[in-house]
């Protein structure tokens, strides 16, 4: 039987992480603070600090939570499609929905944070980079031929640029982004 | 004859802006502060504050300074090449050098800052977006055909992703990035 106190701790972590992912998608992982989260959630700062320890541990936990939500929204549904062109389309369509609806208020979590942390070696950068690598490998697995990694690099790059276009509330830029993605996917599938 | 005090003001602005562009390329425009700059440059915080007024005015001035340095390093040399495929190659080669040598310690200034400010309407976002628009238009002008804007969008997207790969100190990622850019430029010129 699970211990009541541990369960409450897990539930608290879940609530804090959900709020922290939303904040970090818009204002960045750097902008996270125990104080800001405590104020937002109406709880004590020391309570949140006890749950996570350091700001860096919080940032790494937030990255894992963002990844889990992304997997659930984009990757898992696409796994129902046959590997190859159909799964690639499902991944890209799912990604466009994830960034444009959007799943997180600031749009793509990695597009917002990787460019900031790419110059800062450490566990936060490592976690972001590892997840980007996994995502590109998943795209490349759906493409046949020796240039699969190049195709995956380009599709991922254009998706990140599309994410910015969606944020700008500029219909022209969003339309160009959608066409740029569609053309690239058509070219490899 | 120029007034001595105004000249000193201009020279001070230049020195502060140069340092601020370097900092903002690595730690972002959000991380800029009068206090940090004053400590770095060994001058008084109030002196820097008098030069720029508000943090937002400083950020906008920093963006203009980054743009001027980029124009000098990447755009002006490419203008010596004939418009079209040759100028496109010169722009892209100049950009790769700008991001990989790099001109600013944190790499591409726009790749570091646009994804952070894309969710924050205001003069900082407007300035970053306007410059990205001009850069993409310059790329598109070198491409013939009805899909020039799509080609420019894709090239710009892949350059931004290449910038991240260069920052990661990962030879494999940097090589993939270079090949992804080369293939895309070859495809349109």
User: pLDDT digits over B77-116, tens only?
Assistant: 999 999 999 999 999 999 999 999 999 999 999 999 999 8
Contact A95, A104 (CB under 8 A): no
Residues whose CB is less than 8 angstroms from the CB of residue A36 and which lie 6 or more positions away in sequence, other chains included: A23
Query: Is residue B170 predicted with pLDDT exceeding 90?
Result: no
Residue with tokens 């818009």: A26
Give the tokens for residue A77.
């549904």
pLDDT tens for each residue of chain A, 189 residues long: 455 555 578 888 999 999 999 999 988 998 899 999 999 999 899 989 999 999 999 999 999 999 999 999 999 999 999 999 999 999 999 999 999 999 999 999 999 999 989 989 999 999 999 999 999 999 999 999 999 999 999 999 999 999 999 999 778 888 888 898 898 888 776
| Spatial distance between the Cα atoms of A184 and A159, rounded to a whole number of angstroms | 10
Q: Please provide the average confidence, as pLDDT, over all residues in chain B.
A: 92
What pLDDT is attached to residue A1?
A: 44
Chain A residues within an 8 Å CB radius of B163: 115, 118
**Which pLDDT score is estimated for B10?**
85
Inter-chain CB proximity A167 and B31 less than 8 Å: no
Quote the pLDDT of residue A6. Answer: 59
What count of Cα atoms within 13 Å lies in the side-chain half-sphere of residue A129?
19
Confidence check: pLDDT of B136 > 80:
yes
Give CA–CA dist B58/B33, Å, rounded: 9
CA distance B186 to B7: 48
According to DSSP H, which parts of chain B are helical?
A: 4-27, 34-41, 45-52, 55-70, 76-78, 85-100, 109-117, 123-141, 148-167, 171-188
The whole-number pLDDT of residue B187 equals: 79
Cis before B122? omega within 30: no
Question: Are A153 and B160 inside 8 Å of each other by CB?
Answer: no
pLDDT at B1 over 60: no
Structure tokens at B34: 């009068």
Mutate to test the interface with B, among A119, A134, A146, A177 (most CBs of B within 10 A): A119
Which domains, ranges and CATH numbers included, belong to chain B? 4-188 (1.10.357.10)
Name the percent of chain B lying above pLDDT 90: 77
Question: Is residue A67 within 8 Å of A138, Cβ to Cβ?
Answer: no
Average pLDDT over residues B29-47: 92
> Residue for token digits 């320890």?
A53
What residue in B sits closest to A115 (Cα-Cα)? B112
């Amino acid at each position: 039987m699970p211990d009541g106190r541990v369960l409450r701790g897990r539930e608290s972590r879940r609530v804090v992480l959900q709020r922290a992912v939303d904040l970090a998608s818009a204002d960045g992982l750097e902008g996270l603070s125990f104080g800001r989260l405590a104020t937002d959630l109406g709880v004590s700062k020391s309570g949140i600090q006890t749950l996570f320890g350091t700001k860096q541990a919080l940032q790494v936990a937030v990255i894992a939570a963002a990844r889990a939500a992304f997997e659930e929204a984009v990757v898992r549904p696409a796994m129902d499609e046959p590997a190859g062109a159909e799964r690639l389309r499902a991944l890209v369509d799912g990604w466009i929905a994830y960034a444009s609806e959007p799943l997180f208020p600031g749009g793509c979590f990695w597009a917002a944070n990787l460019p900031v942390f790419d110059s800062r070696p450490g566990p936060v950068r490592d976690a972001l980079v590892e997840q980007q690598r996994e995502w590109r490998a998943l795209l490349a697995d759906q493409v046949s031929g020796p240039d699969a990694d190049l195709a995956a690099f380009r599709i991922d790059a254009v998706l990140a640029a599309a994410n910015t276009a969606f944020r700008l509330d500029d219909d022209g830029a969003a339309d160009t982004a959608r066409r740029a993605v569609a053309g690239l996917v058509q070219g490899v599938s």
